[in-house]
């Protein structure tokens, strides 16, 4: 697989978020030792998408997002066009992949979740209803793992807010409330989740093996499709 892989993330001023994306790219390189794996950010920090695509051809762009929102539908295509690569192969986003939901459930168990606990799935949020629908799909999939309905809460855009959901569940008589993180990396959003008042809060997905598998699988599928088309 000789096509370059450009892992595109949102971007954050928080060093922990950038470090997480760098670590993810490093692990992907180990899985694909003959592939040039690069990082590009659509916002806030560099390297930009254009920086990542500089000097490469026929790259496969893997959006490291858990939902299809504005950044994936609008920002990324615009930046690809600006970089002179409008026909670059762009794979589906990482979420809502059932295996990533399984990873979120594993993180929740590690945080101390027990069967019977009320569960909230925490996401950044979006004004794009397609992105919100993706998060709700992830919540329905998570329900299979926890055996109870999973409410969706947001920390940046949209309602209900995670902390309000947690408070409402307590007021309704839930003894323990657990929050699963539908975030890829640590940073300001995860800190908001951590402070929501739940009994236990799971870590973000980070460099869970399922995330690495999802990146590699999307890249491999794109390369295979390109070879068939050729």
Convert the pLDDT of each residue in 14-33 to its tens digit. Answer: 999 999 999 999 999 999 99
Percent of the chain residues topping a pLDDT of 70: 99
Q: Does residue 230 register a pLDDT over 70?
A: no
In this chain, the answer to whether the domains covering 5-94+208-229 and 98-201 adopt an identical fold is yes
Percent of the chain residues topping a pLDDT of 90: 87
CATH architecture of 5-94+208-229: 3-Layer(aba) Sandwich (3.40)
Q: What is the pLDDT of residue 175?
A: 96
CA dihedral angle for residue 20, residue 122, residue 133, residue 128, rounded to 10 degrees: -70
How many angstroms separate the CA atoms of 97 and 220, rounded? Answer: 16
CATH 3.40.50.1400 assigned to domain 98-201? The reply is yes
Q: Which of 127, 140, 117, 107 is nearest to 210 (CA)?
A: 107
The encoded tokens of residue 178 equal 């657990």
How many angstroms separate the CA atoms of 14 and 45, rounded? Answer: 10
Q: What is the pLDDT of residues 87-138, one digit of tens each?
A: 789 999 999 999 999 999 999 999 999 999 999 999 999 999 999 999 999 9
Q: What is the pLDDT of residue 162?
A: 98
Work out the mean pLDDT of the chain and round it to a whole number: 95
Q: What is the pLDDT of residue 90?
A: 95
Provide the sign of the torsion angle of the four alpha carbons 102, 108, 110, 113, taken in this order: negative
For the chain, the structural domain boundaries read: 5-94+208-229, 98-201
Q: What is the pLDDT of residue 118?
A: 98
């Amino acid at each position: 697989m000789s096509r370059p892989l450009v892992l595109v993330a949102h971007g954050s001023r928080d060093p922990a978020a950038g470090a997480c994306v760098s670590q993810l790219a490093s692990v992907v390189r180990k899985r694909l030792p003959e592939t040039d794996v690069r990082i590009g950010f659509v916002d806030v920090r560099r390297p930009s998408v254009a920086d990542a695509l500089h000097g490469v051809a026929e790259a496969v762009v893997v959006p490291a997002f858990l939902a299809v929102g504005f950044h994936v539908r609008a920002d990324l295509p615009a930046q690809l066009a600006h970089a002179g690569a409008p026909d670059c192969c762009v794979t589906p986003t990482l979420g809502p992949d059932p295996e990533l939901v399984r990873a979120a459930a594993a993180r929740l168990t590690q945080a101390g979740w027990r069967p019977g606990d009320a569960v909230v799935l925490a996401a950044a949020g979006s004004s794009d209803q397609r992105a919100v629908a993706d998060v709700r799909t992830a919540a329905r999939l998570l329900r299979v793992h926890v055996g109870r309905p999973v409410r969706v809460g947001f920390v940046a855009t949209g309602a209900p807010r995670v902390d309000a959901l947690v408070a409402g569940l307590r007021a309704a008589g839930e003894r323990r409330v657990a929050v699963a993180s539908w975030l890829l990396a640590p940073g300001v959003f995860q800190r908001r989740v951590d402070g929501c008042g739940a009994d236990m809060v799971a870590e973000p997905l980070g460099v869970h093996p399922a995330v690495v598998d999802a990146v590699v699988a999307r890249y491999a599928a794109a390369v295979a499709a390109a070879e068939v088309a050729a």
